[in-house]
Amino acid sequence: MLGRFFKARSVNAGVPQPLGPEHASGTDRTMMARAIELARQAAAAGEAPIGAVVYETASGTIIAEARNTREADADPCGHAELLAVRAAASATGDWRLNHCTLVVTLEPCCMCAGTLLNARVGRVVFGAFDPKAGATGSLMNILADGRLNHKPVLIGGVEADACGALLRSFFKDLRARKR
């Protein structure tokens, strides 16, 4: 179980894969550092350590950021990326976020990948792969489905070691507390 998070690459060879971390820009890496800080804040609050940042791709200006709030809000939709996309749409006054990049510490799930498609996010950058729930390269790649009308640029594995370590440590501690 300790190796669940942060595979160097997805384990499902039949699924279209995201571009590798070598394709991340300096701004992507800076935003990932911020997302990791948000993930640490989530862990300190007893939430799964996942953080997300939405920034304007051309300027590098942060539009919105969020961390998981599922436990505090008793909300199954309290995922960092969904909350960050909602906040970005509100901040811009437009649900279309083609001009934005979302950076998140864990590979998006089906719900969040659907949100990214519906918001028309232009680029998605994630840290750790999630072989049990990842929907952008691990189990499936919703963002690469040719039947859909929007295909964002997708980059995975950025700071995967750091993102995966946060997740592993959090869940190891959580299991120890439950004993």
Q: Which amino acid is at 96?
A: R
Helix (H) or strand (E) holding 27: helix 26-44
Torsion angle of C-alpha atoms 157, 149, 16, 171, degrees rounded to 10? 40
Paired strand residues for 19 = 155
Of 108, 140, 169, nearest in space to 10 by CA: 140
Of 111, 87, 92, 102, nearest in space to 35 by CA: 102
81 given a catalytic annotation: yes
Catalytic residue chosen out of the listed positions 47, 65, 81, 159: 81
Are 123 and 152 in contact, with CB atoms under 8 Å apart? Answer: yes
Q: Which two tokens stand for residue 61?
A: 């200006």
Strand duo 153-155 + 123-128: pairing: parallel
Q: Which residues have a catalytic role annotated?
A: 81
